[in-house]
């Protein structure tokens, strides 16, 4: 049954080539029709043959969610601003190709050859992960070049090769995380977000904009100092029990990556985020402990928390300083709202049905938590972009960026509560995907302001 399901996914992947010839609107209509077909018509003649027992029990079918994911990939890609012919649909098509060919071959080869299990998810194998990367990369590259009508020489001269490789590797990582009933509804949006930063203009390669690519002797001394400081700061955080061992190791890697990509300015923003998140975690610990909703492990942040709120900023820091900053702003507001909301003496409500829930309820909102989160967004954005980065204060950009973060702040609460009911994916995957998508929308919005 698994092979039949993946074979169908593979065959559907060849429709990515049609994106070169049809308009985005018609592509959306086709995805909508596919959704209606899989939901209402397919059960009449064949869907039951490929349904999992768990899907029937849950009332959730991956074959139905598949066209929804494709629909959203195309819809989001329409927002991309690029002078390159077919770039919008190329990004959507490449992301879809990773879903169709990378994920399918991963499942097939992983089942056929077994081998060593991934240390963080015993249901996945190294063979599957490697297959995902190889076939996902090849298929996404071919689809991207086909739709944009570019040659391999054009790709070699630009950064499209490395951007696609990064997109596939990170997608493979997200797809393999545990706790996902449907592991196909998250990583395609991660892929879309990363691929949207690709440039076929060699002079605009993201590699040329990295801090480390243009440092002089004076900057080199600062770079070395920051690396040493990052090591000591990590050690202090671990010894103070602000973060556990695995979280410390990944936090150290995040710090190193941000220093390499953005230098001192980006690292200061990262420290600002850490201080804000740690303060909100320690705030009202006695109340949280009495209510039984204190952060696990005596408040120490673990690898799940650090990874889910650090992966997107780390990757985005290599492409866009603004996307990096505002993604951290989103994660900071989420942490502040959650931790301050746990201590509220007022009422906590569900955003889905507006019924009263207990403080600490996943997706629940309170006046204290919400206002704290919104205040965090406004202050964090102001300090990060308009003071640390040193830009002239542009009210339109400030309000637009803040509004996008606020929208994602609200969406995150809704998705967490929905997922708590249906358990389709994990809270950590939701954090990661929303972080990457926020970076995508921030970057595309700022591109419109720059013209």
Res 232: pLDDT: 94
Res 249: pLDDT: 92
Is the predicted pLDDT of residue 68 greater than 70, yes or no?
yes
Res 286: pLDDT: 72
Q: In what order do the strands lie in the sheet with 356-357?
A: 356-357, 348-350, 364-366
Answer with the residue of higher pLDDT: 394 or 262: 262
Give 334-347 pLDDT, tens digit per residue: 888 888 877 877 77
Res 367: pLDDT: 81
Please tell me the least confidently modeled range out of 271-285, 357-371, 403-417, 434-448: 357-371
By the 10 Å C-beta count (0-12 exposed, 13-18 middle, 19+ buried), 21 is classed as exposed
Res 385: pLDDT: 67
Q: Spell out the alpha helix ranges (H) of 357-426.
A: 367-383, 395-422
Tell me the C-alpha to C-alpha distance, in Å, between residue 194 and each of 270, 318, 433.
20, 10, 11
Q: What is the model's pTM? A: 0.93
In sequence order, which residues have a C-beta less than 8 Å from that of residue 308 and are 6 or more positions away? 427, 428, 429, 431, 432
Is the predicted pLDDT of residue 120 greater than 60, yes or no?
yes
Give the model's confidence band at 297: pLDDT under 50 very low, under 70 low, under 90 confident, else very high: low
Residues composing the chain: 451
Res 23: pLDDT: 93
> Distance between the two ends of the chain, CA-based, in angstroms?
51
Q: Can you say how many angstroms the Cα of residue 351 is from the centroid of all Cα atoms in its chain?
A: 23
Quick check: 62 and 55 in contact, CB under 8 A? Answer: yes
Give 217-237 pLDDT, tens digit per residue: 778 889 999 999 999 999 998
**Token pair belonging to 358:** 């207990």
Is the predicted pLDDT of residue 60 greater than 90, yes or no?
no
Compute the average pLDDT of residues 238-257: 90
390-412 in b/e burial notation, b at 16+ Cβ within 10 A? eeeeeeebbebbbebbbebbeeb
Q: Is the dihedral of CA 232, 234, 239, 241 positive or negative?
A: positive
Give 379-394 pLDDT, tens digit per residue: 888 777 665 655 555 7
In sequence order, which residues have a C-beta less than 8 Å from that of residue 122 and are 6 or more positions away? none
Q: For the chain, which residues make up each domain, given as ranges? A: 2-206, 210-450
What is the C-alpha separation between 152 and 164, in angstroms, rounded? 13
In sequence order, which residues have a C-beta less than 8 Å from that of residue 288 and are 6 or more positions away? 294, 295, 339, 342, 343, 360
What is the C-alpha separation between 280 and 298, in angstroms, rounded? 14
What is the C-alpha separation between 17 and 33, in angstroms, rounded? 18
- Other C-beta atoms lying within 10 Å of the C-beta of residue 134: 17
Compute the average pLDDT of residues 49-77: 86
| Residue carrying the six token digits 């919400």 | 370
Answer with the residue of higher pLDDT: 25 or 303: 25
Quick check: 429 and 176 in contact, CB under 8 A? Answer: no
Give the model's confidence band at 305: pLDDT under 50 very low, under 70 low, under 90 confident, else very high: confident
Quick check: 314 and 257 in contact, CB under 8 A? Answer: yes
**Token pair belonging to 121:** 């998810």
**Token pair belonging to 309:** 């709120």
Res 84: pLDDT: 86
* Percentage of the residues of the chain whose pLDDT score is greater than 70: 93
Quick check: 260 and 211 in contact, CB under 8 A? Answer: yes
Which of 410, 319, 238, 20 has the alpha carbon at shortest distance from 230? 238
Beta strand 117-118 with 356-357 is: unpaired
Q: Report which secondary-structure segment, H or E, holds 139.
A: helix 126-148
């Amino acid at each position: 049954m698994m092979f039949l399901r993946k074979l169908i996914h593979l065959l559907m992947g060849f429709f990515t080539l049609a994106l070169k010839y049809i308009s985005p609107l018609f592509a959306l209509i086709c995805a909508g029709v596919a959704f209606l077909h899989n939901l209402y018509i397919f059960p009449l003649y064949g869907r039951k043959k490929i349904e999992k027992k768990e899907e029937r029990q849950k009332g959730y079918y991956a074959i139905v969610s598949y066209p929804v994911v494709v629909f959203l990939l195309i819809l989001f890609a329409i927002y991309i601003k690029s002078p390159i012919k077919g770039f919008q649909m190329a990004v959507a098509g490449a992301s879809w190709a990773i879903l169709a060919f990378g994920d399918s071959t991963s499942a097939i080869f992983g089942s056929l050859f077994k081998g060593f299990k991934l240390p963080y998810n015993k249901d996945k194998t190294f063979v599957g992960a490697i297959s995902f990367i190889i076939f996902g990369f090849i298929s996404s590259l071919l689809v991207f070049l086909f739709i944009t009508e570019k040659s391999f020489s054009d790709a070699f001269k630009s950064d499209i090769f490395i951007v696609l490789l990064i997109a596939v590797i990170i997608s493979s990582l997200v797809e393999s995380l545990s706790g996902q009933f449907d592991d196909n509804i998250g990583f395609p949006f991660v892929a879309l977000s990363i691929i949207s930063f690709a440039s076929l203009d060699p002079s605009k390669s993201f590699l040329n904009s990295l801090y480390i690519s243009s440092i002089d002797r004076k900057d080199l001394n600062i770079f070395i100092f920051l690396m040493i400081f990052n090591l000591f700061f990590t050690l202090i955080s671990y010894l103070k029990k602000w973060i556990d061992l695995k979280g410390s190791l990944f936090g150290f890697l995040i710090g190193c990556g941000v220093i390499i990509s953005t230098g001192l300015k980006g690292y200061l923003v990262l420290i600002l985020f850490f201080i804000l998140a740690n303060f909100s975690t320690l705030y009202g610990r006695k109340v949280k402990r009495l209510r039984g909703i204190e952060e696990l492990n005596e408040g120490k942040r673990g690898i799940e928390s650090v990874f889910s709120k650090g992966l997107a900023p780390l990757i985005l820091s290599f492409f866009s300083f603004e996307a990096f900053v505002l993604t951290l702003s989103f994660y900071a507001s989420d942490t502040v709202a959650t931790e301050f909301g746990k201590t509220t003496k007022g009422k906590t409500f569900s955003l889905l049905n507006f019924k009263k829930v207990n403080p600490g309820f996943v997706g629940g909102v309170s006046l204290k938590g919400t206002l704290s989160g919104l205040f965090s967004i406004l202050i964090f954005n102001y300090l990060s972009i308009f003071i640390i980065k040193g830009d002239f204060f542009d009210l339109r950009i400030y309000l637009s960026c803040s509004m996008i973060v606020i929208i994602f702040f609200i969406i995150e609460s809704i998705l967490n509560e929905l997922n708590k009911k249906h358990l389709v994916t994990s809270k950590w995957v939701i954090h990661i995907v929303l972080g990457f998508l926020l970076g995508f929308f921030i970057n595309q919005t700022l591109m419109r302001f720059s013209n």
